Amino acid sequence: MIFEILTTFPGIIEAVAGESIIRRARDKGLVEVEAVNLRDFTSDKHKTTDDSPFGGGPGMVMKLEPVFDAVDTLISRRPGKVRVALMTPQGERFDQAKAEQLARENHIIMICGRYEGVDERIRRHLVTDEMSIGDYVLTGGELAAMVVVDAVARLVPGVLGDESSAESESFSSGLLEYPQYTRPAQYREYSVPEVLVSGNHKEIEKWRREHSLRRTLERRPDLLNSAPLTEEDRRTLVRIRKEE
């Protein structure tokens, strides 16, 4: 899985991708994360990547030539299927389903917008996906790109040590995760639910499913509309709702 990230701030990309699980995945050769400096694709002596907007108005616009030239170069270096993503608050909202879709790709080029925006021709003629990580405005697309890289890379087989952990968590099942506890079983007056230390695996599974449902109902009831629920789950939800 190759991520190439076009940016004028390669240090932000390296700072994030040089730590923890993503760093280990890179060392193992499972994912490649390369920051590509847009200034290397400029032709003027000031290495300009932005300019004032046609028609006037405040702010600067990201110029198209360095972006087109950089993407052309990256594609010719590694021919084959590629997605070209633009990180922008105007994009489609990034979520777990999109992460799963991108995890099936081999090569993703990400363009980090800066300034007030990017020349519209980049969007219209170069980009295959516009992605937003949420309804807020960052100073640039770098952190957003790294959110996407992190969420996608952890789905690549072998990146997480324990293969099962990518699956059992929040969102993959369509529900929020059940509460977790570890030793000690008693701390101050706070104890662990009895069933979890009982060793009864069937009861533990039941408790976990119920508490996933409870948590989802309390915090993200919208998820229940699309989560795959069994008849038993539906009965559990009816019972929980009656408690109120």
Which residues of this protein are in contact with ligand ADE, per CB under 6 A?
87-89, 113, 132-134, 136-138, 141, 144
Q: Residues 50, 57: contact at Cβ < 8 Å?
A: no
Cβ of residue 157: shortest distance to ligand ADE, in angstroms? 27
Question: Smaller CB distance to ligand ADE: residue 108 or 213?
Answer: 108
Cβ of residue 193: shortest distance to ligand ADE, in angstroms? 38
Cβ of residue 58: shortest distance to ligand ADE, in angstroms? 17
Would you tell me the crossing angle of helices 10-17 and 20-27 to the nearest 10 degrees?
Answer: 90
Question: Smaller CB distance to ligand ADE: residue 60 or 224?
Answer: 60
Q: What is the largest CA-CA distance in the chain?
A: 71
Cβ of residue 137: shortest distance to ligand ADE, in angstroms? 5
Q: What is the phi-psi region of residue 5: left when phi exceeds 0, alpha when psi lies from -120 to 50, beta otherwise?
A: beta
Using CB atoms, what's the residue nearest to ligand ADE?
144
Question: Smaller CB distance to ligand ADE: residue 73 or 90?
Answer: 90
Question: Smaller CB distance to ligand ADE: residue 137 or 238?
Answer: 137
Q: Residues 123, 85: contact at Cβ < 8 Å?
A: no
Q: Please tell me the distance from the alpha carbon of residue 183 to that of residue 174, in angstroms, as a whole number.
A: 28
Q: Torsion angle, CA of 130/9/6/25, rounded to 10 degrees?
A: -90
Kindly report the backbone phi and psi dihedral angles of residue 125, in degrees, each rounded to the nearest multiple of 5, phi listed first: -120, 0
Cβ of residue 187: shortest distance to ligand ADE, in angstroms? 39
Strands (E), the chain: 2-7, 32-37, 50-51, 61-62, 83-93, 107-112, 117-118, 129-132, 186-187, 190-191
Q: Residues 138, 87: contact at Cβ < 8 Å?
A: no
Cβ of residue 28: shortest distance to ligand ADE, in angstroms? 28
Question: Smaller CB distance to ligand ADE: residue 62 or 155?
Answer: 62
Residues β-bridged to residue 39 = none
Question: Smaller CB distance to ligand ADE: residue 90 or 200?
Answer: 90
